[in-house]
Amino acid sequence: MLQRIAYFGPAGTFTEAAALKYAPQGQLLPFPSIAAAAEAVSAGQADEGVVPIENSLEGSVTDTLDLLIHGSDLQIRRELVIPIEHCLLVRPGTGQEDIRVIYSHPQALGQCRGFLGHRFPQASLVPAMSTAAAAERLQQEPKGAAAIGNLRAAELYGMQVLARSIQDNAGNATRFVALGPTDSPPTGDDKTSLCFSFAEDRPGLLYAALGEFARRGINLLKVESRPTKQSLGQYIFLLDLAGHRTDAMAAQAVEALRRQVAMLKMFGSYPRYREGNGGGSAR
C-alpha cells in the first residue's frame, strides 16, 4: 500500500519537492495550506504531512510553529533540508520592462528582497498562497505580471523563466518536517523539539530553565520565542535540543524543566538531518 503524504501544495511548490525527496514512491496529496495538510493527517486521509518550518534567510515559518503550539497534536517524525532556487517567471513574450506586479508566497518575496528592490523598485509585490499558486495566477494575468517560483512551476504552468537564482543568498535553504501521529524511535543521532511557557514573569526564569540542559551537557540547537496570542508581552519559548527525548539526560532535563513551567508540549524526537543521509522516510 502506497504511503500517503499530504503536503502544502499545489504541485510545483518547494514543499512538493521536499515531499518527493522524503517519499519518492509515496502518493502525494496536495493541500492549500499548512493547516489543511496537517488536518488531513489527523483525520486519517494521509499517513504523514510534509510542511516547511524554517528558512535560512527568513527564519521560522510561523504558520507551522503556531500549528505545533496551538493547533495540532501531531509529532515531528523527520526533518529534511532542500536548497531553494527562486526564479522569476512570466508569460511567454513578457519582458522585464513590462512587469508592474509580482506574485509569490510571502516567504519567497522576503527571500528575494534584494533582487526585487534593485530590479523592480516600482513593482507591486502581492502575496499568494504558494509559489505555485502565484505561477498559476499568471495564466489569467496580463503580460505586466510576474511570479517567483521554481523551475517545475514554470514547466507545469507554461511560464517563461526570465531570471534564475534570484534569492538574496546562494546558500538559501529550507528545512521541512514530516508530521505524523507519533515521532520516531532513537537512532543515536537525534533532535528533540518542544515548547514551554511560564505562569509569571520574573528575573532569571529563562536562565534557570535553560540551565537544566547546560548542567547535563545537552546542546541547544535552537531557541526562539512566539507570542502566546493571549496577552501582549507574554511568550512561548521553543527549543530544539540534541538527543532523543528517551535519552536519560534529555529525559531528566525535560522533567526538571516541566516542574518550572506552566505549560510544556513535546513536538517529538526525530533523526537529525545530515547532508547526504537523504532525509527519506523511515517506513
Q: Which of the following is catalytic: 13, 64, 94, 174?
A: 174
User: Whole-angstrom Cα distance, residue 275 to residue 283?
Assistant: 20
Q: Say whether 192 is catalytic.
A: no
Neighbours of 91 (CB within 10 A): 20
CA atoms in the 13 A half-sphere facing the CB of 153: 33
Catalytic residue among 120, 176, 237, 267: 176
The one-letter code for the residue type at 131 is T
Quote the CA–CA distance of 230 and 153 in Å, as a whole number: 39
Exposed, middle or buried, 22 (CB in 10 Å: 0-12/13-18/19+)?
buried
H-helix or E-strand containing 235?
strand 235-242
**Cβ(138)–Cβ(157) below 8 Å:** yes
174 given a catalytic annotation: yes
Cell numbers standing for residue 101: 506586479
Q: Indicate which residues carry an active-site annotation.
A: 174, 176
